[in-house]
Amino acid sequence: MAGNEPNARPRSPHLQVYKWTPAMAVSIFHRVSGDGLAIVGACMFLWWLGALAAGPEAYAAFIACVWHDPDAGTAHQVTNILGKIVLIGLTWAFFQHLFSGLRHFVLDAGAGYELKTNKLWSTLVFVGALFATAATWLYILQGTFNG
């Protein structure tokens, strides 16, 4: 705080001053992805569920807004793109939070704290989440183009 401590001393955990390592990154991204799912993901799901319960017209309006509108006006062209961006983001957040959460279960059991092991699995959480997101959307888009 006074500015004359040795640099090697631990610093307070603010993102601006914290040294970025895989382990701290996976921790902050656990929170970011979790909060994203909790707010955007849960609201999207409730919107979809409410439209499903409200009937065919409401459901068609939801699909036209978020995914695809056969006779799209400008507004729906924009929301269709935004909808896909949000859904891709939610897919990533889902896998990031899932894999990171599984890592937490291992840590809770008292395992995986060795520096190299911790770094390896933290990195694999990011790689796995990106890979699973890419695989999911390749599967979805391949279905869209073929069907």
Partner 1 sequence: MGNGTRLGRVRGLGSSHHGSGHWLQQRLTALGNILLVGFLFVSLMRLPLADHGAVLRWASNPTVALALILMLVSVFWHLRLGLQVMIEDYVHGEATRLLALVVLNFYAIGGAAYGIFAIVRIALAPAALGPGGM
- Which residues would be at the binding site for partner 1 (CB under 8 A)? 31, 34-35, 37-39, 42-43, 45-46, 49-50, 52-56, 58-60, 63, 67-68, 94, 98, 101-102, 104-105, 108, 136, 139-140
- Asked if residue 44 lies in contact with residue 79, where contact means CB atoms within 8 angstroms, the answer is no
Name the minimum Å distance from CB 133 to partner 1: 12
CA distance linking residue 137 with residue 88, whole number of Å: 8
At position 26, the amino acid (one-letter code) is V
Nearest distance, CB of residue 92 and partner 1, angstroms? 13
Tokens of 91: 């897919």
Contacts of 22 (CB under 8 A, 6+ apart): 118, 119, 122, 123, 126
User: For partner 1, which is the closer residue by CB, 3 or 56?
Assistant: 56
Minimum CB distance to partner 1, residue 21 (Å): 20
Return d(Cα 139, Cα 141) in angstroms, integer. Answer: 6
Nearer to partner 1, 126 or 137 (CB): 137
Asked if residues 97 and 126 have their Cβ atoms less than 8 Å apart, the reply is: no
Looking at residue 37, the DSSP 8-state letter turns out to be I
Which CB sits closer to partner 1, 38 or 130?
38
> Which CB sits closer to partner 1, 5 or 105?
105
Please report how close the Cβ of residue 26 comes to partner 1 at its closest, in angstroms: 16
